[in-house]
Structures are given as structure tokens and as C-alpha cells.
Amino acid sequence: MSYLDTLLQGVEVEWKTLGEVAELKRGATITAKTKTNGEIPVISGGQKPAYYNSEFNREGETITVAGSGAYAGFVMYWNEPIYVSDAFSVKPHLDFMNTRYVFHFLLNNQEWIHNLQKGSGVPHVYPKDLANLQIPIPPLPVQAEIVRILDTFTELTAELTAELTARKKQYEYYREQLLSFEDGEVEWKMLGEVAELVRGNGLFKTDFTETGIPAIHYGQIYTYYKTFTTETKSFVSPETAMKLKKVDTGDVVITNTSENLEDVGKAVVYLGKEQAVTGGHATIIKPSKEILGKYFAYFTQIEGFASQKRKLAKGTKVIDVSASDMAKIIIPIPPIKEQERIVSILDKFDTLTTSISEGLPKEIELRKKQYEYYRDKLLSFSTTKGTKN
């Protein structure tokens, strides 16, 4: 910061509206008749390309802002040909504005931009409103230096994210390999033969209390929990708990119902010391001495489980695999010692790739916060000559 203060010493940082320093241009609609398959990203109302087209209407460095929908106002940067559809582009005047500098500044004001949303139905963000945003304009060399510093953080985050993606693929590969067996290698049994299945009942979000008996709601299994947990997100009163099915340490709670097939059959192993409870749309798997709860939970994450789940699923808008059908799923049952070995390996991968307190996700989160901190510091200019807030 002192380095940049030195750069700014005696320099006047001018403020102008975004509309004065950049061209804000609406995208063009693609219809079913004009849509063509290709490799050009089509930028619409989401946080990633809606699909890919064969034509482009912007090229070079371009900032895009989603025009409508839940993510209206979402800012992205591109340096390749793109097709701007239900969005608009921001093209700074390069004689006195650095495109990456403007991009970082808009990211620093992302919440403000989202608050520009208008409309009672589908929210929209309009170019004319964003054009009023005041932006500080230091000299181009200073803009370039700010960009260099901030890009260093984003590049490091991108490298860590790429490494995490690679580790996840590696994890998925080994998980498939460790949990796939040839006929004759191990004994295969139905889930109902090696575990007791208890279908849950009741438990509504309105039952939750600040403290009390640990409770696992089925919706939290595919939105909050990972493979296993020692603590629950929610609690219920002792009176409510008496009416619900009990979850003991080592039990697996698995979802029976969801609006999509992917979330049906999501499982979490409960490893808490205090007995917990669960409710409807979930089944408690109580393992016998032949199978470890963690081993089964990891098995639910591979294709061998998913392919059986697809055949058993019923419904269209709401997908369900009943407890009685879940009991029919065939599972490879190696000796307990081998299950322990497999679980130990997969636990290490799980910690590395999904833990919020260890491994790469924490590192990525820290780097993002570091980037946001310095972005705010570097772009918080004062209207006073040559100073920063």
C-alpha cells in the first residue's frame, strides 16, 4: 500500500461515471431459428455460459454483466470471442482505462450492482443504471500496477482451483477402483442382508430449536453435509425427538426423495457421541458386523450404486427410492479389515478435497479473502488529490 501511495503522490485521481469511460452495449437475442451449435460461449443471465454458438458478437477483452434472472448483474471477464445475449457488455475506452482494472473495480462493487435489479417478476439490471456508477481513474501505469497485484492473487486462486479439480478427479478414479470388484473376488449381498433399514417420519424445519437433541433433516444431506459428520446442523426439543427415529453413532442416514435423481441416495455417516434423530424422506441404515457405515457411504458415491438407483427410482417431478427398494441394492462385501483399509484411503482424499477446515478448499477460501481484502484497499480511492482511503 505504501508503494502505491508513493506512485500516487502528487497525482490527481479523477472520478467519472462508467458511462463516460466505457461503452455499455446490450446483447442480441438468439432464437431457436438463429441458434447454431459451435464453440463460442453464449453469455446470458447466469454465472457461466448458457450454451455454445457458432457465431460471436464481441471479441477481445470484454466485461459482461448478466441482464436478467436470479443472477442479474453478475460480472464476468472474457478475452476471447463471445456472443452476448441476455446480458450487456462493458468496453472501456483504452486510451485512459485498463479493462482488467475496470473488471476488478466492478467486482469490488458486485453487491451494489446486484442491488440495481428491478422488476417484480424476473429481475433485470439495465446498462443505463450501471452507467451511473462512479469510477476512480488513476494514470494508466498505476491502473496496470493495481491489475498486476490483483491478478497475482486471482492466478494463484485459479491454480489452486485447478489443482483441486484434478485432485477430485483423482479421488473419483481411486474411489471407483477401490470399490469395484470382479465376480468371485468378494461376496455380493443385498443391503437388506447386511443392514437394518429404518424409514424416518416427521421432522419439519419448524421443529428446529437452537439447542437440544441433534437432528438430521433430509434436505441438509444434499445441501450441507459431506460424507460423514460428528455434529448436526440442527436440533429439536426432547419432546419432538421422542416421536422421531433414532440415529446411533455409525449409522448412515440416506435420502429417499428429491426433485432430481442425483440427490436421491445421498448419504451421511453420523459419528456423533450423542444419539440423534431424523425424519421423513430419509432412511437410517444400521450396519451389521459385516459392513462399515463409512464403507457403505462411500459406495453410494460410485457408478455401481447410481446405476442400481436409477433402475429403482419412481416418479417424475418428485423422485423416490423407497426403503424397501433401497434394501435390494447389491453391495460388494470384502472382509472388515479390507473395508477399513479402503475407508482409510478414501478418508484422506475426502479431507483433502472436501473438508472446510483442512486441505485445498480452505487454502482457496483464504486466497479469495486475501484477494478481496487487497482489492478493496487498492480500489478505495479518496476524492482528495493523490491519496487513498
Give the model confidence (pLDDT) of 137-177 as tens digits: 999 999 999 999 999 999 999 999 898 888 889 899 999 99
Q: For residue 356, name the pLDDT band (cuts at 50, 70, 90).
A: low
Kind plus residue range of the DSSP H or E element containing 319: strand 319-320
Which H, E and C letters describe 94-159, residue by residue? CCCCCHHHHHHHHHHCHHHHHCCCECCCCCECCHHHHCCCEEEECCHHHHHHHHHHHHHHHHHHHH
Nearest-Å Rg of the Cα atoms of the chain is 27
Residues linked to residue 23 through DSSP beta bridges, in sequence order: 91
CA-nearest of 353, 373, 307, 335 to 150 is 373
Single-letter amino acid, residue 226:
K
Res. 384: pLDDT tops 70: no
| Mean pLDDT computed over 211-219 | 96
Close Cβ partners of 341 (under 8 Å, ≥ 6 residues apart) = none
Give the model confidence (pLDDT) of 60-86 as tens digits: 999 999 999 889 999 999 999 999 999
pLDDT at 357: 64
| Mean pLDDT computed over 306-331 | 93
pLDDT at 199: 95
CA-nearest of 110, 101, 106 to 151 is 101
| Mean pLDDT computed over 351-362 | 77
Least confident of 94-103, 234-243, 260-269, 377-386: 377-386
Give the CA distances from residue 85 to residues 36, 45, 103, 161, in Å, rounded to whole numbers and listed in that order: 14, 8, 19, 28
Reading the block at residue 23, the C-alpha cell is 461503452
pLDDT at 385: 43
pLDDT at 136: 94
Close Cβ partners of 6 (under 8 Å, ≥ 6 residues apart) = none
Res. 386: pLDDT tops 60: no
Single-letter amino acid, residue 153:
F
Between these two residues, 140 and 259, which has the higher pLDDT value? Answer: 140
Question: Which pairs count as long-range contacts for 304-309, CB under 8 Å and 24+ apart, including other chains?
Answer: 304/179, 304/180, 305/265, 305/329, 306/265, 309/261, 309/264, 309/265
d(CA 232, CA 271): 10
| Mean pLDDT computed over 271-290 | 96
234 phi, psi to nearest 5 deg = -125, 165
Res. 378: pLDDT tops 50: yes
Reading the block at residue 12, the C-alpha cell is 490527481
Res. 314: pLDDT tops 80: yes
Q: For residue 388, name the pLDDT band (cuts at 50, 70, 90).
A: very low
Q: How many helices (H) and strands (E) does the chain have?
A: 14, 23
pLDDT at 382: 66
Single-letter amino acid, residue 132:
N
| Mean pLDDT computed over 375-389 | 66
Q: Is 167 within 8 Å of 352 (Cβ atoms)?
A: yes
